[in-house]
Structure 1
Amino acid sequence: MKRSDFPAPNGRFSKNSDGDLTFIPNRIIRDIEGLYSSEIVSLLSKADRMLGSLDRCSQSDPNIDFLVAPYIRLEAVASSRIEGTQTTLTDYYKLEAEKKGEHDPDYIEVNNYIKTMMAGFERVIGGQKIDLPFVKSLHKTLVAGSERTKGVPGHVRTKQNWIAPMNSPIELATYVPPDPIKLEPLLKDMQGFILKDDDIPPLIKTALIHYQFEAIHPFEDGNGRVGRIINSLYLGQAGCLHSPILFLSFYFQKHRDEYWARLLRTSQQSDFDGWLRFFLKGIIEQSQRSIELSNKIEGLHTSYQERLEKKRVTATTLKALRLLFTGNPFVYMTELARELDVHLPTAKKAITQLEKEGILKQSKVKKPAIYFAPEIIDTLRKAEKEMLK
């Protein structure tokens, strides 16, 4: 990191105990009037409308759990891929169904992300506020059991970290966050900003929080993922989202280079305008994609439901259908029996009825047999590919 790369820094430089140059970002900006360019105002208005439409969709949908399950998994896969994992949504579902993920590092990271997001969102919807202990608990859950974890889960770092190409020394870093001994006042300032009830629009506030968190980089590892989880949680805290169905990380993954560049440029040149434009465009794009995907999933379920009701299938079969949407579209007969709390012959009958209607197919290579819902998987796979184009 060079001073010359920071012509108009949003902060100041300081040397740590080893003599390395670090960057200390300014307190989070409170006077935001100067940030309101005509383009920002236009984007904010559109982003508010799109996110509002998505949230209304989730609140009016009696089958919202159909959306939450795949949406959180999509978000977890995308956010983890930004950090270098290679797991796809289908990979995750297969490992989850086969219960073979406990020794797969990528699966563990994605699964931890899902647990962290779900538990965190329940807490904010239940009235808890995102303070520093809350953020530490997110980090603890996120990195638990991962062999890649550095530092102590749930604890602010005590060592210097830096952002650079993999395994590169600090001398080649593009960004060196604050010295650990400088973190406390920065974190208290960020906490105060998150908790303060003010007139700053929630989407602007979310963008500013995300930049500040990444600039501080408070943990030795997992900062990107924790920061992206906080995006959804803060929107929940602010009353903008009542379910975690905005997978903003897909936008960041799709524009990964620009994502990192915008964050860095905000530190180097105080370019909040560029960061806010990028962030708000992401809200608009992903809100629209979330709505489109929800319509496809709802339409698919409705067509299946109507088809099965005409055939007068058992109640267990209808419950099994629902489980394919709210749980995993890959399923073993024994697992289905356990999930539905029925005997094995009853589960077998449900699977047979779903097979007859083409909703389930049996894999030819697995013993015991694993069944999968090809249209559900194809819908989610297409959505995943489309978002990453």
Structure 2
Amino acid sequence: MSNIPTPGTFPMQVLTPGQETSIEIDPPNGNDTQDGAPNTSSGANQGESTQTLTPNRLDIPLPPGHPALAEYMSKIPEMAMFRRFGTLNLQNLLYLQAEILELEQTLQTLQKKDSQGNEEQRRYATNWWFLRNAKRRGGTGEQWSLVEIIRKKLYEYNEALMQQHSIMHMPKPTTRDTLEVQKLLEAWEMGPAALTGDDSHIWGCLTDNQSPPFHDLVALLPRHSGDPLSSWVISKAEMLTNMRFRSKGSNLQGYRDQIVAKWTNVFVNVLASLFPVASNVILYVVQPIGARFGVIAAFSVLLSGYLSAFTTAKQSEIFAVAAAWAAVQVVFASIGDNCDCG
């Protein structure tokens, strides 16, 4: 889904007096009942303070800032984009790697030392049981203790390594979705300043070209990249929506990318069906064989451009379609020319 719904458009439920939740707070020298429960019957006379709290309800609008931003991201998953902190994560891997390397060298030194020790120590390399129970059998147990440390450190390292592998394969957010986050953070619905901390410039600033988004943003659910025509139509539709977005006091009217893609697909398919009809009609009308080959060349070029602009076909697929198209048209033109001469 594109565009951003207005926060707080859900109706709030009005609580009746019976739905209010009261919390009685005893004075510093509060009087307790015999069973330990606070005495609230005489709270007004003893100066007790009473605080009425509204129950936490899901339909209450979240305040501007991180709560409202999280709500928007949950409703429009394409807007859920975060930093992967590539430099810090890679530094962490480098430090873990260095720690494990040092532990590995220490372990190898101990293994070599024990292999040259007494009969009990020499068994450490050939029998795991003696290594595991070395301390119980009068040994230092230093080698096994180090193995347990390495085991934990390797688990931490492998977890970080696999996480980085997954994060590295996460796609970047589209420019369009990044702009939508910027517009949201600067919209009147989010207040005069949606975020005021150091994280306020993570997604960049719409009005400040000197504050671009961070380069290591990743999208949890990237927008599906459709054909160029659908992307162009969606971008034009967003321009109108952004105008409504900036007008105060108006509810935003969202739209679904699937609807735009559906109608653009209809247009593309109808236009594609006209290619063979138009080509055959022109070849039928044009009589000179040289002119017919010129028409075939022109339609082949138009077909290739059409497939490149309006579809997501690969270059090899476009070449194959254009070659097959030209071959069929050449056969049609040759048959028509032979019939005319006969």
TM-score (norm 2): 0.28
Structure of larger gyration radius: 2
Question: So what's the TM-score if we normalise by structure 1?
Answer: 0.25
More helix by share: 1
